[in-house]
Amino acid sequence: MKKYINPYAFLALVAFLSACKVSKDIPVPKSATPEAFRGATGSDTSSIAALPVKQFIREAELQELVDTALARNYDLQIAVKNIESSELLFKQSKLGNIPSLNFQVTANSNRPSDNSLNGLSTSQFLKTSHVEDYNANLGLSWEADIWGKIRSQKQAALATYLQTNEAKKAVQTRLVANVA
C-alpha cells in the first residue's frame, strides 16, 4: 500500500506554523546626529533658535504685528487644536491596561393577542394582558498585552503628540518669518 502526501496539505501546514511565530523586537538604530554642527566647539551654546521672539525682534511696531499675527492666524489655531486632540488621545492610550466595566439594563413589555393561545393563557393564568421582562447585565473585561498591542498604541500616540507639537512650532516660526 502506497501513501501519497498531499503537497497542498503540506504547504498549508507550513504556512499555518509560520503564521503562529511571534517576531522578535527590532533594535532601534543609534542616531547618526553629530554632537556639534560642523565641528563647532561646545563652548558656544547660544543659538538664534533659543532666543525668544521679543529678544530677536526689538522694534515695537514689528513686535505688535507679530503678536497680532500669532493671535489671529488660523493655521496656528488649528495646530493648537491638533495638539490638544493628540494630547487627549495620548492620555486615553495610557489607560489601555485598565479593565473595562460594562453595565446594561433592558426592559421589555409584550402584549400577546387575545385571539392567540399565548394571549388566552396569559390572561387566564397571570391575570394580566401583558408580560414584562427586565434584564440587567454587568460585565468586566481586561486585555492582556501579550503581543505589545497596547504598548505600540501608546508609542504611536506619543509620536503623534510630539509630531503635532513640532508642527505648531514650524507654523509659528514660518509665520513670524513671513511677518518680519
Residue 104 has what DSSP assignment? E
Q: What is the largest CA-CA distance in the chain?
A: 100
User: What predicted TM-score, i.e. pTM, was given to this entire model?
Assistant: 0.55
Contacts of 109 (CB under 8 A, 6+ apart): 130, 131, 132, 133
Degrees (nearest 5) of the Cα angle 100, 103, 109? 160
Residue 14 has a pLDDT of 83
Q: Does residue 79 carry a pLDDT above 80?
A: yes
Q: Does residue 132 carry a pLDDT above 90?
A: no
Q: How far is CA 68 from CA 47, 64, 77, 79, 177, in A?
A: 25, 6, 13, 17, 14
Q: Does residue 83 carry a pLDDT above 90?
A: yes
Helix (H, G, I), strand (E, B) or coil at 43: coil
Summarize pLDDT for 10-67 with one digit per residue, the tens: 888 888 887 777 777 788 888 877 777 666 665 555 667 677 788 888 888 888 898 8
